[in-house]
Amino acid sequence: MKCWWNRHSNLTLEGVSKEDVEELTGCIPLLLNQCVASGKVDLSPLEKVANKAVTFTDDMKVKKIDDKTSYKWKLYVPLIQLSTMDLTF
């Protein structure tokens, strides 16, 4: 992360801390690059990622799952939905 921030040292964060940006992007450089536009950090692309994750888990929830994995999905899907609802952009 130190190298990424050094390469993007001229970015304007506009009320968002580096720690917040890192937490929301998971410190993934390719995802961080998507959040840089015109010298500013723009976190709106993360909303697309969150929406895709919610769609995936919703789709998996309604699919017929065999008895062996059904229990795992019944636990997994609500946790993922809960965690995505807490994101603010």
Question: What does the radius of gyration of the chain's CA atoms come to, in whole angstroms?
Answer: 17
CA atoms of 24 and 56, how far apart (whole Å): 19
User: What is the pLDDT tens value at each position of the chain, 89 positions in all?
Assistant: 888 888 888 888 878 888 888 888 888 888 888 888 888 888 888 888 888 888 887 777 666 666 566 666 777 767 777 766 655 55
- What global pTM score does this model have? 0.53
pLDDT value of position 78: 78
Residue with tokens 């965690």: 83
- Residue-range domain boundaries for the chain: 2-43, 46-85
Backbone φ and ψ for 41, nearest 5 degrees, come out as -85, 125
Q: Is 30 helix (H, G, I), strand (E, B) or coil?
A: helix
